[in-house]
Amino acid sequence: MLKVVELQVSYGKSRVVNNVSFNVEKNDKVCLMGRNGVGKTTLMKSLIGLLPTREGFIRWEEKEITNTRPYQRSRMGLAYVPQGREIIPMLTVRENIELGALSHHRKETGKLLEEVLEYFPALKEHLGRKGGVLSGGQQQQLAIGRALMSKPKILFLDEPSEGIQPNIVAEIATTLNRIQREKALTLFIVEQNLDFAFKIADRFYIMEKGEIVKSGKSIDTSLDMIKKYLTL
């Protein structure tokens, strides 16, 4: 489904992602882990087209997309929930959600909104409120809901548990698993919260200094082993 081969991504003259290769299959639940500053977000942004690649290629459903624009990748079924959520604070919750369908499935906006609110019922009572007044957990649900409005095939999430209280984190993990199961959705998550990651991911990759240094199946791997790569 998604094939990444020898990918290199740089900021100016500084190479951040170095010869990274991996595959993500249909219906996979994959987590990318590593310490801060190892290139995880840079890699994710290159996959969705926000950062150009220096070398290597990205293939999606047997089509090379290395040089396609973000909006083109979005229309191909790639959706992105950024770190920090990046909702539009002065728009209402409803307006923020509906933005996700604006250039994709405008005629289905009402139906898709109902589906989002079924997954995130806590947002129902806030539809008329400004997005900026919501709690961190509610904003994260809003950002995920907005991404779902594009009817994606793969959902990229960057640090979705960051700054959210534990009970809401657990709720989001449960909901993501439900969405993945019911929508036959592929999940690719950047995350450092191991408990959250292992509630979702079947497979993992670990990055160090811009490279993939370890991979495996969650069921076969101890949290203690993973922690060695995440702590200084």
Average pLDDT over the chain, rounded to an integer: 92
pLDDT band at 6 (very low <50, low <70, confident <90, very high): very high
Buried b (16+ CB within 10 A) or exposed e, 36-68: eebbbbbbbbbbbbebebeebebebeeeebbeb
| Percentage of residues in the chain having pLDDT higher than 90 | 79
User: What pTM did the predictor assign?
Assistant: 0.92
Find the mean pLDDT for residues 90-114: 89
- pLDDT value of position 232: 58
Q: Which tokens go with 127?
A: 């539809």
51 pLDDT higher than 70: yes
The pLDDT assigned to 225 comes to 82
What number is the average pLDDT over the span 106-129?
Answer: 93
CB 204 within 8 A of CB 33: yes
Looking at residue 229, its pLDDT comes to: 80
pLDDT digits (tens, 9 = 90+) for 144-195: 999 999 999 999 999 999 989 999 999 999 999 999 999 999 999 999 888 8
Q: Between 120 and 104, where is the model more confident?
A: 120
Confidence check: pLDDT of 12 > 90? no
Q: Which sign, positive or negative, has the C-alpha torsion 213, 215, 221, 222?
A: positive
Q: Is the pLDDT of residue 67 over 70?
A: yes
Q: What is the mean pLDDT of residues 70-75?
A: 94
**64 pLDDT more than 90:** yes
